[in-house]
Amino acid sequence: MSLQRKVKNSQAQKRTSQGSNSYQTRLSAWKVKEDLSDSKSISKHGQNNPVEDYEHADDQAEGALQIALTYFEKGPVKTSQSKDKTLEKHLKTVENVAWKNGLAPEGIDILLNVALSGKFGSAVNTRIFKCMIPATLISEDSVVKAVSWLCVGKCSGSTKVLFYRWLVAMFDFIDHKEEINLLYGFFFASLQDDALCPYVCHLLYLLTKKENVKPFRVRKLLDLQAKMGMQPHLQALLSLYKFFVPTLISVSLPMRKKIYFKNSENLWKTALLAVRQRNQGLPPEPLKLMLANVHPVKRKWNSHSVIPVLNSRNYSKESGKKGMNLSDYFSSNGSFPLEQLKSFPQLLQNIHCLELPSQMGAVLNNSLLLHYINCVRDESVLLRLYHWLSQTLQEECIWYKVNNYEHGKEFPNFLDTILKAECFLQEGFYSCEAFLYKSLPLWDGFCCRSQFLQLVSWIPFSSFSEVKPLLFDHLSRLFFTSTIYFKCSVLQCLKELLQNWLLWLSMDIHMKSVMNSPLETTLGGSMNSVSKLIHYVGWLSTTAMRLENNSTFLLHFILDFYEKVCDIYINYNLPLVVLFPPGVFYPALLSLDSSILNQLCYIMDRYRKNLTAAKKNELVQKTKSEFSFSSKTYQEFNHYLTAMVGCLWTSKPFQKGLYIDPEVLEKASVAEYKNSLNLVHHPALLSYAVFFLLQEWPKERKVNMSSVWGKKWNWYLDYLFSEGLQGLKLFIRSSIHRSSVP
């Protein structure tokens, strides 16, 4: 966007610098033309590349516009034989670009000059005016220059009318108005022209400031009124004067409101809508995007758009003072208006006197105000946000109300905005939690799935047993009855929930050691809550593994969750170690997939590190802390560890606690099962072993698996590690003494 403008600017500069030499300008124009024909031919051939085509088309339009503008600027060349044809062509070009993208300020400057200088007939001038649509803004200088043309008297009355109508329509797009206001006297004098009078009145209505209201002007207006009768446009101006200086005008103006001005912008109405949308939809800086007041179609009275527009004008605050004038509302009273808040340093400087938005919901769209919300201790600010957000969520929710399916993308977009804000704050909103309680029982598990589950992952930390009947019981019902993909998404979201809770708690525990907080007992409660969440996921996982026939895909998501769980003690400095349930451990250990086995090894290694760290700390602190882990956790871990070593290393699997009838084994023709489970024979690693043997001893006729022992065993290990089984490497390094090579 900015690049394009740069190019335009440089072209404009070129034009002005070369203005004295018309020959050169034409030469450059010719060059551009040549480029054009080139690109045309390219685009004809390269039809299979739409992006490139599109770019070419853009370049092409840009080039053609430059040529056209230059043509208008220089005026028609007398010698040219097909003058009308060229004119028509260039006019078409300008119109097309103007209606599609609008014109740059320089372009409008040129066209204004052309239209008012009387170079062309009034039919052409009309067409030029109709397509003078700004891309973004109109520079004040162009308008002042244009007004000076009016004094020369080269343009017809109808062109003048058109100019005033255009000026009124485009008034909001002019970048400054100070100099235009200096021309007030000139405009006022134009009131005498009967044809211009209504439009000049409208312009003056927009332009008038208090200091423009003078007794002689009032007299003049009253004279005009006496001459022409009660004209709505004169009444409008008079009543404005009366508003500014009531003492000057004693005439009573009719009470009943009329339409003062015929809608003079309707020539450009649709184009202006497009300009506004363009200006707001694609602003150059990202911050402006946050502040842009985008109004989609007014859908219902409750909300123009779902999120209210940022607006700091707070009637209620100032309404206590008596005798307020309108102008008082617009004058600042020491507080910092939100509309001016553009940067973080500004926020810091004015944080004490920031005027809060009149509708707190507007903060969702403004990252700076989210910063403010994050540190404000004013409960009423949070309550306002709470009420607004919870009501809006319920009102917008697609499945919460019957027959509310028509809104399409609006609700997911709204949820996305909320999630963005939660992610930015790293904290969930209470209203979202309340919304989940109400809407989860009615959710089909499909609509807005990703957003909805993300909302779940941002539930603020709370007592698990309290939230379980409201939320997790409903979630598990959906979990068990939905597809494997849904199950995986739920596990993913619960992993994020766990992470958010852990981060929050780890900050809290850190504070306690500093502040010696009186709430010592609650840490036990919080740990209990977290461990309940983990057990809940363990229960979900165990059941899901059965339901999905030990799916490897599902197992990956489950182990991802436990990758977070196993590191709580070290990563988050929280006194909690919870092991996975057997229903997860054994399927992972006996999985056919080497990456699962590898992940399991990694997790076991981290469990070991966390448990040893915990034990070490206990020994150092000597005093029995409240959070010493029960010996049961260690026993459980050792049990798993033995099973793993048995399956991977010593070929003595399941020595304890598992009895398999030899007859059964014989039937399955694995009577020699003892050797069937080790690094070589494990079903997940068998293919590695085969490849290893084939690679090292390609000439061997028969692949002899049991030959892998002793030195070969070590080579095989190195081979496995080199194949990326890093978890296995960590596990073997830490948990197995290499002296015990079989």
Question: 319, 349, 465, 481: which one contacts other proteins (CB under 8 A)?
Answer: 319
Minimum CB distance to other proteins, residue 510 (Å): 6
The site map against other proteins for 505-544 (x = CB under 8 A) is: x-xx-xxx-x--x-x--x--x-------------------
Contact 644, 679 (CB under 8 A): no
Scanning 87-95, 311-319, 676-684, 690-698 for contacts with other proteins by CB under 8 A, the matching segment is 311-319
Of 604, 622, 599, 607, residue with least CA distance to 577: 607
Q: Which is nearer to other proteins, 303 or 707 (CB)?
A: 303
Minimum CB distance to other proteins, residue 384 (Å): 5
Question: 44, 257, 699, 702: which one contacts other proteins (CB under 8 A)?
Answer: 257
For residues 538 and 532, give the distance between their C-alpha atoms in angstroms, rounded to a whole number.
10
Question: 392, 454, 591, 599: which one contacts other proteins (CB under 8 A)?
Answer: 392
Q: Tokens 């930015």 — which residue?
A: 424
The site map against other proteins for 487-506 (x = CB under 8 A) is: -----------------xx-
Is 320 a binding residue for other proteins by CB under 8 A? The answer is yes
Q: Which is nearer to other proteins, 504 or 627 (CB)?
A: 504
Scanning 459-467, 549-557, 561-569, 650-658 for contacts with other proteins by CB under 8 A, the matching segment is 459-467
Of 490, 367, 382, residue with least CA distance to 428: 382
Sequence-ordered alpha helix ranges (H) in 229-355: 232-244, 269-281, 286-291, 315-318, 326-330, 344-350
What are the distances in angstroms from CA 350 to CA 286, 330, 331, 342, 343? Answer: 22, 19, 17, 12, 11
Give rounded-to-5 percent helix, strand, coil for the chain: 70, 0, 30
For residues 134 and 4, give the distance between their C-alpha atoms in angstroms, rounded to a whole number.
16
Is 297 a binding residue for other proteins by CB under 8 A? The answer is no
Would the CA dihedral through 693, 695, 700, 701 be positive or negative? Answer: positive
> Which residues on neighbouring strands pair with residue 354, listed in sequence order?
336
Amino acid at 569: Y
Question: 316, 331, 630, 695: which one contacts other proteins (CB under 8 A)?
Answer: 316
CB atoms within 10 A of CB 4: 12
Question: 359, 476, 499, 531: which one contacts other proteins (CB under 8 A)?
Answer: 359
The site map against other proteins for 127-156 (x = CB under 8 A) is: ------------------------------
Is 721 a binding residue for other proteins by CB under 8 A? The answer is no
Is 21 a binding residue for other proteins by CB under 8 A? The answer is no
Q: Which two tokens stand for residue 456?
A: 């779940």
Q: Residues 321 to 340: which contact other proteins by CB under 8 A?
A: 324, 326
Is 375 a binding residue for other proteins by CB under 8 A? The answer is yes
Q: What angle do CA 515, 520, 524 make, to 5 degrees?
A: 135
Is 573 a binding residue for other proteins by CB under 8 A? The answer is no
**Burial environment of residue 145 by CB neighbours within 10 A (0 to 12, 13 to 18, 19 or more):** middle
Minimum CB distance to other proteins, residue 422 (Å): 14
Question: 9, 192, 263, 343: which one contacts other proteins (CB under 8 A)?
Answer: 263
Scanning 36-44, 169-177, 443-451, 455-463 for contacts with other proteins by CB under 8 A, the matching segment is 455-463
Minimum CB distance to other proteins, residue 238 (Å): 11
What are the distances in angstroms from CA 413 to CA 305, 408, 436? Answer: 12, 9, 17
The site map against other proteins for 428-447 (x = CB under 8 A) is: --x--xx--xx---------
Of 239, 172, 242, residue with least CA distance to 203: 172
Q: What is the dihedral of CA 186, 188, 190, 195, to 10 degrees?
A: 150
Q: Which is nearer to other proteins, 26 or 438 (CB)?
A: 438
Sequence-ordered alpha helix ranges (H) in 303-448: 315-318, 326-330, 344-350, 367-375, 379-396, 410-425, 430-439
Amino acid at 704: N
Q: Residues 194 to 253: which contact other proteins by CB under 8 A?
A: 205, 236, 239-240, 243, 253
Contact 535, 572 (CB under 8 A): no
Question: 10, 49, 156, 380: which one contacts other proteins (CB under 8 A)?
Answer: 380
Q: Which spans of this chain sit near other proteins (rule: CB under 8 A)?
A: 205, 236, 239-240, 243, 253, 255-257, 259-261, 263, 300-302, 308, 311, 314-317, 319-320, 324, 326, 358-360, 374-375, 379-380, 382-384, 386-388, 390-392, 394-395, 427, 430, 433-434, 437-438, 460-462, 466, 469-470, 504-505, 507-508, 510-512, 514, 517, 519, 522, 525
